[in-house]
Amino acid sequence: MRHLIDPTDLTRQETDNIVALALDIIANRAKYSEACKGKKLATLFYEPSTRTRLSFTSAMMELGGNVLGFSDANSSSVSKGETVEDTVRVVGCFADIIAMRHYIEGAPLDASMVSRVPIINAGDGSHAHPTQTLTDLLTMTRELGHLDNLTIGFCGDLLYGRTVHSLIKAMSRYEGTKVVLIAPNELRLPDYIKHDVCDKYGIEYREVSSLEEVMGELDVLYMTRVQQERFADKSEYERVKDCYILDTEKMALAKEKMAVLHPLPRVNEIAKEVDADPRAAYFRQVENGKFVRMALMYTLLKWADEGAEPLHNHNVVEAPQLACPNAKCICNNENVEKKFHLTDGGVYRCLYCDTKAQ
Ligand code: ASP
């Protein structure tokens, strides 16, 4: 069974095929209107969402299928203490594919280990958000025409921003990617992305603190929200929340052909005046999310019918002496078997959340 938990669960070729399929769907909407007729999507959202849940729902409707699920875990048996594993075993009896968002990192991976239908990770804590990545890849393709040789500036909350982590992983597979990390000290990119992704795949990256200084060299500016809900210390959030604000003055320093992306919701980080700039692609990006999710669900359901085997993209090791120190990891919240993977750099990381094992 194939699932999408991490962007690397798809090969580069498969990723390109899904983006190409999304482009075909955009060009030939009617052709796909019954492509998933008789199929059911379950959306299991344990954490708030507007775009992701509604775009999955709208995507399945446009494919001619149906949707069930919950957007508030308190209205489900989760409030009675049901585990993620049991919930997906049950929902797999009612649906052909499941999109799950969870505040606990690694919950969708745990779900995929027991599920009889494909699981799509619709965002797990601060960890990963692979369908936003597909959305971003489609958006960059439509805005700029290619994915190779792009210099991407990631700005804002790079520590908790799961969309940033997943997009950097995906971009590591394209030629000539350069990454500029624009963040306050408190919100820098996690080490595992810097070392296991950027260093491993030879992505050129540098960390800077001024957005103005780098504006002129970017092909893509990926703005992010500082994520209040991830801060244990609210005074720290107050200190960093307005660290970067994109306005027309800063846009004047950018290339003429450049795209501003944002996974949304925005708070203060993009001034409203920027919306009128043709380079502001974030609302077009939202619609791309629906098309790419159509392409993804169509592909995963086809693979499920064909009995496709998963990619083995992790070096999973038995290591009973190790522990995952992340309190927000599924392995420290539910009764799941602890699992680790050994990176090429010789570091043991939790399989569910990528935190360095102890
Ligand atoms: N919508 C994105 C996410 O779910 C970004 C955000 O919430 O700030 O990760």
| pLDDT > 90: percent of the chain | 86
Catalytic residue IDs = 51-52, 80, 101, 129
Question: Hey, how many other C-beta atoms are within 10 angstroms of the C-beta on 11?
Answer: 12
* Res. 47: pLDDT tops 80: yes
* Res. 314: pLDDT tops 90: no
Integer angstrom CA distances of residue 104 from 128, 188, 311: 11, 21, 24
* Res. 138: pLDDT tops 80: yes
Question: Hey, how many other C-beta atoms are within 10 angstroms of the C-beta on 274?
Answer: 20
pLDDT reported for residue 310:
86
Residues 164-185 pLDDT 10s: 999 999 999 999 999 999 999 9
Measured between its terminal Cα atoms, the distance across the chain in Å is 31
Helix (H, G, I), strand (E, B) or coil at 328: coil
Instruction: Please report the atom of ligand 1 found closest to the CA of residue 225.
Output: 8
pLDDT reported for residue 344:
84
Q: How far is the CA of 265 from the centre of ligand 1 (A)?
A: 7
Q: Is the CB of 123 under 6 A from ligand 1?
A: yes
Q: How far is the CA of 263 from the centre of ligand 1 (A)?
A: 6
Q: Is the CB of 333 under 6 A from ligand 1?
A: no
Domains of the chain are 7-129+287-306 (3.40.50.1370), 130-286 (3.40.50.1370), 314-358 (2.30.30)
Residues 286-308 have a mean pLDDT of: 98
pLDDT reported for residue 345:
84
* Res. 75: pLDDT tops 80: no
- Report for 44-53, 134-143, 308-317: range of highest mean pLDDT: 134-143
Residues 89-103 have a mean pLDDT of: 97
DSSP helix, strand, coil percent of the chain (3-state; round to 5): 40, 15, 40
Residues 270-285 have a mean pLDDT of: 98
- Bond prior to 265 in cis (omega within 30° of 0): yes
